[in-house]
A and B are shown apart, each in its own frame.
Chain A
C-alpha cells in the first residue's frame, strides 16, 4: 500500500474544507508546516498506527502486536483512531474513511493545532535533521523563514530498508532478537543532550597540572588562621586521591545517554551497532512527543474547539461536534486525560492573562474577594498562550501554570497503592502532593535516571551503572532482565547500583547468574 505524497487521493470536497480551515487557522495566528492529508481505510489506519504513524518501519513483532490490539479494539467497537499526524515537514495526517464530514473537519482542525505545535515548540527543534549539534538556542525567533529538514518519513523508511538488508544477511530471528535487546535499553537516553554541550573538549596535557587548593581570601596577617597549612595539606591530599581514583576512569563523568555510550564503546559487530543506532535515533525522535504530551494535545484540542465552534460548524453540525468533543475530553475512572488537562490549562492561562491575574501584585494579594473580581482588562491571553506553546514542555508547563486554584477547581487528586485494600486509592487532595506527584511522573518521561558510571568496574572490564534514586524503587524482575540485555551488548558482567526498600543494593548479572549484594561502592 504505497503512501504517496500527492494529495490527489483526498476527495475534492475535503480539499476544499482543508483550504478553508487552513485559512481560518492562519487568521488566528497558527503557523504550521504544509499538511498532507490522506484518507485511509480502517485496516490501513490500524497498520500505520501500529507502526507509530509511519507507513514504513523496520520489521518487528511488536508492531504486529500493536496491530492486533488496535484491530481488536476497533472490531469490538472499543475504540477507534480518529486522527494521526506525523511530525514531519511537510506533516502527514490521516483521515479515517467513512467518518462523517463533521468528524473530518474536527480532525483537520485538531491536526492544524498539532502541526503548529510541531513547528513552534522548542523541544521539537531536536528533530530537525539539518540542525547540526547541539542546538544551544532552541527558541526560534518568530517570523522569518523556518523550513527545517524533518523528512522523518524518509529516514524511518531508510531505517526500514537498512534493517531489511541486515535481515537478509543474518536472518530475521537473530536480528529481531538483537532488536529486542536494544529496545530493552530504549529509554536510557538523555533527552536534553540535543540542547546542551554535555562533553567538554578536554585539554589533553602530558601531565596534569599541579594540585592547587583554592584559598579563601584573607589579609596577610590572617592567612594562617583562615587558610591553615594543615587544612590546605589535607585538602590537597583529598584532591590528589580523587584524581588518582579517577585516573584512567572511563567515562570521565557519568553519562546519561547509555545508548550512545554503548554504541561508542561496546564490542559490537557492525550490524549490531547499526541497529542500536537506529533504535537510539528513533527514541530521540519520539522524545519531544513524550515530553509535551499534555501541552500538545491540549493545544490541538484548544484550537479544534475554538475553530469548530466559532467558524467551521453550522447549526446542523454543532451537536455532532459537541458529542464527539465530549468523547475526547471524557475523564474515565478518575484517570487524568491529557487532552482535557491540557486544554483546561491553556484556557486558565488565557483567562488569567486577559484579566491580569499574574505578577507580584496578584501573588501578594490575600483578599479573596478582590481576587475574585480581579480584572485589569489587559487582553494578553492570546499572546501568552502562543508564547507558552513555544517555550514550555509538560514539566515546566505544569510547574508554572498549575495553580492551587486550578487544582481545586478541576478536582485533581493523587492516588497510590493501598496495601491494605490491595487497590489504587485516592490518597490526597492536597495541592502540594498532587503537584509533586504529577511533576515527578513527568520528569524524565517517568523513566528512572540511569547513568553509566564506570566501564572498567573493579578493574575487570565490567560495566557499572548507577540509578539516581528519587523515591521510587525499580521494578526488580524487569531490572534483572534489562541487565541481561546489557550483558548481551557489553559482553562482560554488568552491575547496577540502586536502592531497594531504602537500602543500597548492587544488582549484578554475569551472563549466567543474577546476584545482588548490599555492600555497593
Chain B
C-alpha cells in the first residue's frame, strides 16, 4: 500500500543522500561498514536534520529529573520518547541520531557519482549471450499444455454472441476448434557479463595490521563498486609470502605470516586460476594486488613483469597494483612496475599512504572504466 508519507519520506532520503555524499570520505576511511557486509543493507548513522531556531545553548541549561542519586552523580539516558511527538517538558535536546539504511547498490551509486567513476566498459557483453523464453504472446496453434483457457473461452463467447446462439438464461459456451488459443513465447536475448576479482595480498612479515586494514577497506569498496556493475561477481583470494595459496575471504584478511616475499608466486597462481576457471572470452577479470612493495629479489621482480606481460595482461580487463606504505617495506616494486609499463593502460598502480588516501586510490583504480 502506498502511503501519503512516502513522498515526504523520499525527499527526506534525498536530503540524507546529500549528507552521505558530504561525509563519504569519512565513512570510507572508517571502514565501519564492512562488518555488516553480510547483509544487503548498511546502516549509516546520520544526525537528524534539525531546523535551526533561536534556542538556548545546551550546556548552561540543565534540567530537572526524578530519582535516586547524590549531587555530582551523572544523569543517565538521553532522549525519552513521548507518545505524540509534540513538545516535551523538562527535557533538554539530546542529540538525535537517525540510522539510515542504505542498500549497498545505492551506496555504490553514491560512491560512483562522488568519485566520478565511469560505468565500466563491458568486455564480454557483445560476445556472450543467453537466450531466455518468455511467454508473452498468443497464437492459434500449439500443444494442449499451453492452451489459454480464458482467451479460448472469450473467443467462444464472442462467436456465440455474434452468431446469436448465446442464451443468457442458459449461458453454456462450447468452444470449438477455431476458438482455441495458445500461449506463445518470445525469445529474449540477454547479454551476459561475468566478472571475477582476484585479490592478491602480500602477507609477509612487513605487512602489519594497519596495512591489512587499509587493504580490507579498499577491497571492500572496490568489491562494492564492481558488484554494482556486474551481477554475480565472483571473488577469489590469494595470499602469498614466499609461496602463494588460495584462501577464503576470512583468512585473506586475517592471516599474518612471516617470511620472505616472492610476488611471482602469487602471479603464477593467478594465471593458473584464470586458466582453469575463467576463460577470458567469457569473463571480465580484475586482478588486484596489494603489497608493501618489498620483493625478495630483483630477479623475482623481473619474472613478475614477465608473467604479467605474457600470461596475465593478455587476458584481463586491467591489472591493479596497490602499494600500502609500511615502515618496513622498501616500496621498490611500484617503481619497477611503472618503469616497465609506462605505456600500458591496462596496468594501474596506486600508492596508499594511509586511510585517508583510500578514496583517491579507489579513484585511480576505477576511474578509467576498464
Residues of B within 8 A of A415 (CB): 62-65, 75
Say whether, besides A59-B8, A67-B8, A286-B87, A1 and B60 are in contact (CB < 8 Å): no
Residues of B within 8 A of A414 (CB): 62-65
CB distance from B332 to the nearest CB of A (A): 48
Q: How many residues of B contact A (CB 8 A)?
A: 60
The proximity string for B residues 48-83 relative to A, scoring 1 for CB distances below 8 Å and 0 otherwise, is: 111111111111111111111111111111101111
Report whether B75 and A426 are in contact in the complex, using a CB–CB cutoff of 8 Å: yes
Residue A504 CB within 8 A of the other chain = no
Contact of B60 among A46, A187, A341, A472 (CB under 8 A): A472
Residues of B within 8 A of A333 (CB): 75-78, 80
Residue A475 CB within 8 A of the other chain = yes
Contact of A427 among B57, B71, B100 (CB under 8 A): B71
Residues of B within 8 A of A187 (CB): 53-55
The proximity string for B residues 349-365 relative to A, scoring 1 for CB distances below 8 Å and 0 otherwise, is: 00000000000000000
Binds B, one of A7-15, A81-89, A259-267, A345-353: A81-89
Report whether B90 and A441 are in contact in the complex, using a CB–CB cutoff of 8 Å: yes
Say whether, besides A68-B98, A474-B54, A337 and B66 are in contact (CB < 8 Å): yes
Report whether B66 and A413 are in contact in the complex, using a CB–CB cutoff of 8 Å: yes
Say whether, besides A68-B12, A286-B86, A331 and B54 are in contact (CB < 8 Å): no
CB distance from B80 to the nearest CB of A (A): 5
Q: Give the docked Cα–Cα distance between A474 and B58 (Å).
A: 9
CB distance from B114 to the nearest CB of A (A): 21
Residues of A within 8 A of B67 (CB): 331, 334, 411, 413
Residue B281 CB within 8 A of the other chain = no
CB distance from A425 to the nearest CB of B (A): 6
CB distance from A366 to the nearest CB of B (A): 27
Q: How many residues of A contact B (CB 8 A)?
A: 97
Report whether B66 and A474 are in contact in the complex, using a CB–CB cutoff of 8 Å: no
Closest residue of A by beta carbon distance from B57? A475
The proximity string for A residues 400-426 relative to B, scoring 1 for CB distances below 8 Å and 0 otherwise, is: 000000000011111111010101111
Residues of A within 8 A of B12 (CB): 61-62, 64-65, 68
Contact of B80 among A60, A332, A474 (CB under 8 A): A332
Say whether, besides A331-B66, A337-B66, A338-B82, A450 and B77 are in contact (CB < 8 Å): no
Report whether A425 and B72 are in contact in the complex, using a CB–CB cutoff of 8 Å: yes
Residues of B within 8 A of A410 (CB): 66
Report whether B85 and A184 are in contact in the complex, using a CB–CB cutoff of 8 Å: no
Contact of B3 among A43, A186, A416, A417 (CB under 8 A): A43
Residues of A within 8 A of B73 (CB): 425-426
Contact of A176 among B11, B70, B89 (CB under 8 A): B11
Say whether, besides A172-B11, A428-B71, A474-B54, A47 and B84 are in contact (CB < 8 Å): no
Report whether B89 and A442 are in contact in the complex, using a CB–CB cutoff of 8 Å: yes
Report whether A337 and B80 are in contact in the complex, using a CB–CB cutoff of 8 Å: yes
Report whether A65 and B98 are in contact in the complex, using a CB–CB cutoff of 8 Å: yes
Residues of B within 8 A of A47 (CB): 3-5
The proximity string for A residues 460-492 relative to B, scoring 1 for CB distances below 8 Å and 0 otherwise, is: 000000010001111111110110010000000
Closest residue of B by beta carbon distance from A479? B54
Report whether A426 and B8 are in contact in the complex, using a CB–CB cutoff of 8 Å: no
Residue A394 CB within 8 A of the other chain = yes
Say whether, besides A441-B64, A473-B60, A51 and B5 are in contact (CB < 8 Å): yes
Residues of B within 8 A of A473 (CB): 56-57, 60
Residue A446 CB within 8 A of the other chain = yes
Closest residue of A by beta carbon distance from B9? A64
Closest residue of A by beta carbon distance from B100? A68
Q: Give the docked Cα–Cα distance between A51 and B4 (Å).
A: 10
| B interface, CB within 8 angstroms of A | 1, 3-5, 7-13, 15, 48-78, 80-92, 96, 98-100
In the assembled complex, 24 residue pairs joining A and B whose CB atoms fall closer than 8 Å, in A order, are A47-B5, A53-B84, A56-B4, A59-B8, A64-B12, A65-B12, A73-B81, A81-B83, A83-B83, A294-B89, A332-B76, A332-B80, A334-B76, A338-B89, A415-B62, A415-B75, A416-B62, A417-B58, A424-B74, A434-B64, A475-B56, A478-B50, A478-B52, A478-B53
Extra A-B contacts (20), CB below 8 Å, given A67-B8, A482-B53: A43-B1, A50-B5, A81-B83, A83-B83, A184-B53, A187-B55, A332-B76, A335-B63, A335-B75, A335-B91, A336-B65, A336-B91, A337-B66, A394-B89, A425-B71, A426-B69, A429-B71, A438-B90, A448-B56, A472-B61
Task: List 8 A-B pairs, minimum CB-CB distance, nearest first.
Answer: A333-B77, A416-B62, A290-B87, A481-B52, A64-B8, A64-B9, A64-B12, A333-B76
